[in-house]
Structure 1
């Protein structure tokens, strides 16, 4: 049975700290409540150690699985209790000080007494549940279980070492390329070539094919050769080095410690030209140890490594010749050929009645060799369409109870190697439909709203979250899309096979509930995160499911028709409400009662207005109403003291926005008539990092948009969308700006540029200028902007698009939508 801990330990790690913060506040806790909070803090710390032990096990029994599930549920409820506490006691208002604060605390004790009794009663219930869980662990000694099965499943990677290289499909060119990269005749320095790719992509198969080829073609040139595999466990390094010695013909040094083993290998290799393959490298600690075996003797030695982690291949090695080969998926033709070869005795013909299912299976495998081979093996000699749909389209679901399934076992290795916070972030992508291209900012802001990201002392939560995403990318678990000027992805997605895997994991851990509006889950579990995909046709209402209890739901995400969204009155602890891209009317009744709501996206919906009392959502951090029918935001918006990302699109803002000190991202509309005052008002915002402005400019120069000197000192990205160019940057304006995007409909009638002062933006790294129409005024602006930008930027970082056609740098085209 697979470990079902995943994201749990990260949450249990954080809870004692949250309870400690609660104790430090000056809240008037009823007698006994403070002691109960301390008890939970202590007991959860003890549970944390048991959870860590469960994570270290490869397998465990049903009792331990059930205990972990109970810890997970009570941890969720304790966190909900803590987050609701301040809101229910004092409305989430910041603590007051002085004499007035003393009178207020006295008054609060009196007026909030009923709520405090309710809170105390809930806490007692949580304490009783924790005591029951703790007693269960002691009764069954769950924390001390060894948990190792009598016979561990075979390592599915072993088969790749014994494949007949002549029978490989789609690897001929790859073997040729890597062999040529490894040999590079005439070079005598030590060379390292690392094959990098996601789980199941054929890294071991490719490395083995190259190894055999080089042995056969140049056997007289290499004095020593070895092919060794490591695996994810750090203690495998000693065994790996002993295996290497054995392949060198030295079988008499097995009892030595790692230092002696490395010395023995170096003695053997010092005066020899060697070829070594280090397969399945997982960590920098492993590589730091095993690389010590390989002397740089100037004899043209070669090392090949394989790894799922793109950051590891050449980490910490002084060798100047280090190369990475990123293994690509099989082409559609090769994937189909491999499948047919494995699934049918005739090797190349699919029965006509299975052709459409066959094509669906191929799309799900998406060129991943292990997926193709695994599915083909399961479907071999099966001719029933029902069997193909069951086994081929639901591969990982059908293998849920089969611990020997190679594909799931290999994906489990990658998942279990992640730290708890990365497991949580990866599982979160199961909420989005298969093959979804998820906007990076949307994902990161949702992670933060869910509480997955801790803000460091010298690093923001946003930067930390982007670091987590990058870690998942370099481990080949997430695919980056649409790279920015700094190679950061604007969007990302996961491979269909990995998506299936994390959906399975998410369901096992009750991390998220994925359902269709027509199908209600009946497993009796508490819904914590709901991903609702309805199959109604566009512009047709979907039936709303009223029977599912969502009182414990932390996030609601709807794909399809907005009418399938649950009633907001049923959501008591929701942090994330995401209706982005939904069709049809949006009902916001009850929105202002979602006191814990941190992320609200109505982007791309038919929403036409926000409730006047939206300012009551004191926890709100992100509000996105871009591409909606909302024309103006309610004045109460300015009361949202925690709002960091206000994405209003072309909607107008009320007065007082300049006083919202937490803003980091602002997207809003306005007119040039009031632009000067508005720009000056927000120019002193200390935390503002991204600014997007929509203006309806005229061709008169008296109504220009001016960015003042020394204003917007923290803004790194500025986007302006305007009917025609009327923008001026004064000297010393926007001192930190790195990205400038200017989008206009048409040029000025007098053929003047309309844009001036770009040469003052000394920190620029990328400029985009885009016109919808090609006219003389537009071309005058193009020439002026290019000439000004060239004073601070190399030409390749200036992108010009007119009437949909690129007229600037080609290497930045991919980053422009």
Structure 2
């Protein structure tokens, strides 16, 4: 983490020296250059030093000093920028203001010069120790921490291979599936990858398959190779030759093998396997990098003998990268179910496999922390097995201090080291992103949209040419998911991630790491007095009002509040900000009981992220213009109806969210905001949601926002259609478009051409009457989601949509007034979700053969004239869920008769829901 702090600082210093050289003056500039150069020379040393710091107290102290001096330097830079950002003004009062600013700037310059001189002295001292430690501690070999971890992992793998069959839980089904893949009769070489988070039992599962009697009998040669993070092809191939292949055929190993290099060893293995023409099964356990596979795979020839390569990895891209042929197979490990977890826990904890009744509640609480991770369950069970079963308080102590137990010795310490192996392998810019996940409460499903914006505001992103910061952040998230460090909690139907989370045990580990690194501190009891003086980020779980001074917040960069035990009002927020955290970048106040924004907020010059969603804020003052660095402003579900002209000063604003949710059973439940004139001056805007189309000028201004990727516009009138189409034709980066008419019977005039049509458009929602389907709709080749609400179309909309190659979701809500819908053969090849709602004239639906081949979810609601299931529904082989809401009684009665012809059409669908709206809620039952 010190490496991350230094790397981010070096990036900031380079920009700072380039842009502020005239204000710095020669002396300060030279001192800042010295700090940059010295820290730059230490950076390469830091990564190895951080690996060893847990074992060498001197190194730990030194790494901490480097980190803190990097943080303090960043503070000085930001203070300098803030102090010297005083704008020049004209007129008499302007000259007085400028004179006042110049006096303040002289004082600030002297104070900042003193701070920089102090930092320079500290850097000199740190640099001297750096030179000494570089010679005292050899970094030519792997650090002692890494070597220790390798020993722990090796022992863990040996233990996994020795587990008795009777101890295994939840392994039979995946074992049978893998054996069927191995013995599928294919004569070609086949690769089977098993991928999942560390500790999920990949090695154990593959070993059971490898040792299965049917598998053993099927292959003539068998080999098990442990690859690990420190892959050396020469070592691995010699092990394969000496201790496995030649041992299997009872022959002596040729002497020349000892002197062979990697390429010759690879050719030797290949020739051996080709000449013998034996069928073989070879396991590559713990493969970290695709490069390792690329280096070794040519040793395994295609012999047409039904040979198999099995591999385990914690990295998804490695698993899929090894399985490139059509017959290859990737198996994704699943966490244990609650029942399986309980069985494993009891077998590891209690001699008779039975939990005493007085320990069941606390045991299930401990088990909940493990979230189905076999490594954690087995390790914690082993610790508890030695505890006194009569002392419930000891068990409850472990429940409430499980994160601390991971810092101890023995089995739980080994769990920590094994999981940290994945953390230590991360590049420096991903470490901060992962540690930042510790801000969220336990079991919290994290909104990906908000997570990415906070990462950006924190400065964790490295700019990449041709990519927006959101795209870079999304790439970081995908890489952490790829490495099995973050889990996907909910996917949208187009494959985008809506929510993610982190395993509870890993959260405890990174929470400790984040606290050690002074990255994040949690406040869970309202006591701020125990926080360190130089705290950088605070996450408050359940805000409690207290009367302590907040003067230790001066270095604060982020303040995030999740939940409120006491209401956070204007007065308590002012007190919270009374410590003058003038360097604050992120302020999350979602759900606070605010009616207005305290003036202290508008003094936060460096603020980039301000989240006021679900607060009671009614008015945004002109002072919003003081937040010159604001990039993200969230006013969703507040009472704000209009934004002041001061908003136009926010030249860096990228996302502006000011919509109000209502009852989504109605089309026109979304309300936007009245924008100031010349909203088109906010040229950095990428997301604008939702703006009222008050007049032609507002609609015309939208066309100036060339960076827009998401746009929601409300209160659109028929006469605005031509101007809107003209503006949309200029928004070539647009990905999502939501349009709402001013009232339900107002016609959306969408027939005007858009030139050029926004071909990047992926999601489209049109809410309002349409005279006919817009002609340009069929040209949107990238469209994945379309929603037509209240369209009242008389012509069949399917003909315009059926050939769109990427469409995965359709919602028709009161959109069609015809009696029939026919999905023609070959149409909608990728559609996964179809919702037909409030189609009051609809009588029947037909699905021709080879239409909707990928459909997984079909929902029909308030289509009461439909008395039969869609014709051809039995041919939708991938349909997972059928939902029928407020449908006609005749259809419902047919389906309730399980002997009826209608029921037989859907008997193979896994989930069938029939529901009616009764007394303000859905009364659901499942067939």
Quickly name the TM-score band, shorter chain normalised.
0.7 to 0.9
CA deviation after TM superposition for structure 1 residue 88, in Å: 1.2
Partner of 1:113: 106
2:191: which partner in 1?
Answer: 192
Match of 1:313 among 299, 319, 330: 319
In 2, the alpha carbon distance for the partners of 1:615 and 1:637 equals 5
Distance 1:266 1:62 in 2: 49
| Whole-angstrom distance in 2 between the partners of 1:92 and 1:132 | 38
For the pair 1:683 / 2:703, whether they are aligned, the reply is yes
Give the 3-state SS of the residue equivalent to 2:328 in structure 1.
strand
Q: Between 560-569 and 451-460, report the one with greater CA deviation.
A: 560-569
Give 3-state SS (helix, strand or coil) of 1:28's partner: helix
State the distance in 1 between where 2:157 and 2:193 align.
18
Q: Does 1:154 align with 2:138?
A: no
Shift in Å at residue 198 of structure 1?
Answer: 0.7
- Specify the alignment match of 1:291 in structure 2: 297
Greater CA deviation, 202-211 or 176-185? 176-185
| Structure 1 Cα separation of the partners of residues 72 and 226 of structure 2 | 44
Q: For residues 661-672 of structure 1, what are the structure 2 equivalents within 5 Å?
A: 661-671=683-693
CA distance in 2, matches of 1:171, 1:685: 55
Which residue, 66, 77, 82 being the options, matches 2:77? Answer: 82
Deviation at 1:111, TM superposition (A): 7.0
Aligned 8 A contact 1:86 1:92 in 2: no
**Alignment: residue pair count:** 775
Give 1:255 shift. Answer: 5.1
In 2, Cα distance between equivalents of 1:138 and 1:437: 45
CA contact (8 A) 1:732 1:761 kept: no
- Distance 1:194-1:171 versus aligned 2 partners, 3 A rule: same
Please point out which of 780, 785, 788 is paired with 2:792: 780
- Normalised by the length of structure 1, the TM-score is 0.88
The Cα of 1:291 is off from its aligned counterpart by: 1.4
Identify the range of structure 1 (439-448 vs 251-260) with the bigger mean alpha-carbon deviation: 251-260
Would the alpha carbon gap of residues 226 and 32 (structure 1) be closer, same or farther in structure 2, given more than 3 Å must change?
same
Aligned to 1:435, the other structure's residue is in SS state coil
* Pairwise CA distance, 1:614: 1.0
Q: Mean Cα displacement is larger for which, 81-90 or 323-332? A: 81-90
Pair 1:549-2:552 in alignment:
yes
Match of 1:614 among 609, 621, 624: 624
Distance 1:218 1:358, change over 3 A: closer
Give me the whole-angstrom Cα distance separating, in 2, the residues matched to 1:261 and 1:20: 48
Q: CA deviation at 1:597?
A: 0.6
What corresponds to 2:209 in structure 1? 210
Distance 1:403 1:425 in 2: 29
Q: Which residue of 1 aligns with 2:263?
A: 259
- Check if 1:361 corresponds to 2:366: yes
Offset of 1:740 from its aligned partner? 3.1
Q: Does 1:412 align with 2:420?
A: yes
Partner of 1:660: 682
Contact kept? 1:230, 1:240, Cα under 8 Å: yes
Q: Does 1:582 align with 2:559?
A: no
2:613 is matched with 603
C-alpha distance in 2 between matches for 1:255 and 1:397? 50
Give the secondary structure class of the aligned counterpart of 2:658.
strand
- Note the C-alpha offset of 1:488: 2.1
The answer to whether the Cα contact below 8 Å between 2:458 and 2:585 also exists between their aligned partners in 1 is yes
Task: Label 1:163 to 1:679 Cα distance change in 2 as closer, same or farther (>3 A).
Answer: same
Distance 2:263 2:451 in 1: 45
Superposed CA RMSD: 3.2
1:194 CA displacement: 0.3
Moved more, 248-257 or 152-161: 248-257
Q: Counterpart of 1:20?
A: 14
Q: Secondary structure at the match of 1:281?
A: coil
| In the alignment, structure 1 residue 371 sits paired with structure 2 residue 369 | no
How far is the alpha carbon of 1:454 from its aligned partner? Answer: 1.5
**Gap change, CA 1:493 and 1:112, over 3 Å in 2:** same
Does the CA-based 8 Å contact 1:646-1:667 persist in structure 2? yes
Aligned to 1:63: 58
Instruction: Give distance in 1, aligned partners of 2:282 and 2:290.
Output: 18
Rounded to whole Å, the distance in 2 between the matches of 1:505 and 1:423 is 10
Residues 20 and 109 of structure 1: is their aligned pair in 2 closer, same or farther, counting only changes over 3 Å? farther
For residue 367 of structure 1, report the CA deviation from its aligned partner. 1.1
Cα deviation, residue 641, structure 1: 0.9
Q: Is the 8 A contact 1:737 1:761 kept in 2?
A: no
SS across alignment from 1:321: coil
Match of 1:529 in 2: 537
What's the CA shift for 1:87? Answer: 2.6
Partner of 1:351: 356
In structure 2, distance between residues paired with 1:167 and 1:41: 56
Corresponding residue number in structure 2 for 1:423: 431
CA contact (8 A) 1:57 1:148 kept: yes
SS in 2 for 1:731: coil
Deviations 1:731-777 (A, max 9, x none): 22542342334275xx76xxx65874552652442233265xxxxxx
1:365 positional shift: 1.2
Give CA-to-partner distance per residue, 1:216-268, whole Å, 9 cap, x none: 22434312111111111234x43322222211226553553322322232232
Instruction: Give, in angstroms, the shift of residue 716 of structure 1.
Output: 1.2
Structure 1 unaligned blocks of 5 or more: 1-6, 95-103, 537-541, 772-777
Matched with 1:508 is: 516
| Structure 2 CA distance for partners of 1:238 and 1:609, relative to 1, 3 Å | farther
Q: Which one of the candidate residues 788, 799, 804 is aligned to 2:811?
A: 799
Matches within 5 A, 1:405-554: 405-520=413-528, 522=530, 524=532, 526-534=534-542, 542-543=545-546, 545-547=548-550, 549-554=552-557
> Structure 1 residues 375 and 634 mapped into 2: Cα distance closer, same or farther (>3 Å)?
same
Given the superposition, is the C-alpha separation of residues 143 and 485 from structure 1 closer, same or farther in structure 2, using an over 3 Å criterion? Answer: farther
Question: For the structure 1 residues 783 and 612, does the alpha-carbon distance in structure 2 shift closer, same or farther, using more than 3 Å as the test?
Answer: same
Report what 1:9 is aligned to: 3
Partner of 1:222: 219
Equivalent pair of 1:87/1:595 in contact (CA under 8 Å): yes
Residues 56-106 of structure 1, C-alpha deviation per residue, up to 9 Å, x if partnerless? 548531111111111111101111222332331133799xxxxxxxxx999
Partner of 1:4: none
Out of 490-499 and 168-177, give the one that drifted further. Answer: 490-499
Q: Label 1:469 to 1:812 Cα distance change in 2 as closer, same or farther (>3 A).
A: farther
Cα–Cα, structure 1 residues 124 and 577, in superposed 2: closer, same or farther, change >3 Å? Answer: same
Determine the structure 1 residue equivalent to 2:272. 268
Residue 728 (str. 1) matches residue 749 (str. 2): yes
Cα distance in 1 for partners of 2:796, 2:723 equals: 17
Q: Secondary structure at the match of 2:194?
A: strand
2-structure distance, mates of 1:687, 1:220: 63
Question: 2:102 & 2:644 partners in 1: Cα distance?
Answer: 33
Inter-CA distance 93–302: structure 2 relative to 1 (3 Å threshold): farther
Question: Distance between the aligned counterparts of 1:757 and 1:227, measured in 2?
Answer: 61
Q: Distance in 2 between matches of 1:397 and 1:256?
A: 49
What is the rounded CA distance, in whole Å, between the counterparts of 2:261 and 2:396 in structure 1?
A: 53
- Aligned pairs for 1:734-813 within 5 A: 734-742=757-765, 744=767, 756-757=774-775, 759=777, 761-769=779-787, 771=789, 778=790, 780-781=792-793, 785-790=797-802, 792=804, 796-800=808-812, 806-807=835-836, 810-811=855-856
Q: SS of the counterpart of 2:23? A: coil
In the aligned structure 2, how far is the partner of 1:93 from the partner of 1:71?
38
TM-score (norm 2): 0.78
Tell me what 1:397 maps to. 404
SS at 2:144 equivalent:
coil
Q: Distance in 1 between matches of 2:448 and 2:189?
A: 40
| Gaps in structure 2 of 5+ consecutive residues | 90-96, 660-671, 816-832, 838-851, 859-879, 882-927
Counterparts in 2 of 1:456 and 1:590: CA distance versus 1, 3 Å: same
**2:226, 2:284 within 8 Å by CA — same for their partners in 1?**
yes
Which stretch has the larger CA shift, 85-94 or 169-178? 85-94
Return the alpha-carbon distance in structure 2 between the equivalents of residues 127 and 641 of structure 1. 34
Q: Is the 8 A contact 2:433 2:460 kept in 1?
A: yes
1:144-191 deviation line (CA, Å, top 9, x unaligned): 455527977533232111112243111011111111112102x10000
CA distance in 2, matches of 1:805, 1:300: 42
